[in-house]
Chains A and B, each alone.
Chain A
């Protein structure tokens, strides 16, 4: 092999680099779009928090209200959130299947929460008011509605992002009932 042969080999480097980068772009473009930011706390204990009542007549919520051996659901919602209205009947169905649901109301006012519950029903046992979103941040939650499944030991076992629809009711209830 003379030096000329070597140089011939080198001229392919830019094309190879271009093909590699082009391939990366193509791969990136073909990935399904997923803007959801999932919580990194799945499988970890629920962070400790203490929230005042979000509405008169329903007690507030603290992390101590979990971890008593009973698996529960934690719904993060807001009266100003449209998908939260859409999921209200399905939360009611979950409650009817014997699941206790606690909730956190994000950036809400007592009168707005009261109006929301009056219109869409109240499936919640406790509702904490997270007026400045600091507890939402602690949970690794990035929007409303979001629903967490908490096992009897107080660990987060699942995060459901977005509204709960009819087809999610049974799997979520089963997952929670399988937890201890």
Chain B
């Protein structure tokens, strides 16, 4: 009966990509030769979420899947793809969630517009107050 309990334990789990030995893809931890391209790649990697660790960027994460994602980003930057193209490739697979920047559409639009809305509201309130104090 230990067997059954063990099996039930297994069934609950959905293994994230656990650390395993084996070499990471070539560009995972090797900088691009062109410093401008490398700078672009790093900027992209800092803004992309690691699928396994979720809260960490692929630039900071040591997870194998993050290594694969770094390789993919560097290879695409090296091949001359634009930042938008690279982000779109990943978003097409993992959704908008993969980027740390919320999408500028739908509920995300409200988020981006919030500072402007609040500033507008503050100015409105301030104007009323100053007007009131003058009279």
Contacts and interface: CB of A to CB of B under 8 A. Distances in A.
Nearest to A133: B68
A84 B91 CA distance: 27
B68 A136 contact: yes
A82 B17 contact: no
Contacts of A84: 15
Interface in B1-43: 7, 10-11, 13-18, 20, 22-25, 28
Contact of A131 (B22, B52, B54, B65): B22
Interface residues of A, number: 39
B92 A107 contact: no
B94 A82 contact: no
Contact of B52 (A78, A85, A142): A142
B11 A165 contact: yes
Interface of A: 3, 6, 10, 35-41, 78, 80-86, 106-109, 131-134, 136-140, 142-145, 161-163, 165
A41 B92 contact: yes
Nearest to B15: A81
Given A37-B95, A109-B22, A143-B17, A82 B10 contact: yes
Given A80-B20, A82-B10, A142-B65, A132 B25 contact: yes
B68 A83 contact: no
Contacts of A82: 10, 13, 15
A41 B93 contact: yes
Contacts of A37: 51, 94-95, 97
Given A131-B22, A132-B24, A143-B17, A137 B95 contact: no
A132 B68 contact: yes
20 contacts: A41-B93, A81-B15, A83-B10, A83-B11, A83-B13, A84-B15, A86-B11, A107-B64, A133-B25, A134-B25, A134-B72, A136-B65, A137-B68, A140-B93, A142-B65, A143-B14, A143-B16, A144-B15, A145-B15, A163-B11
A99 B99 CA distance: 37
B69 interface: yes
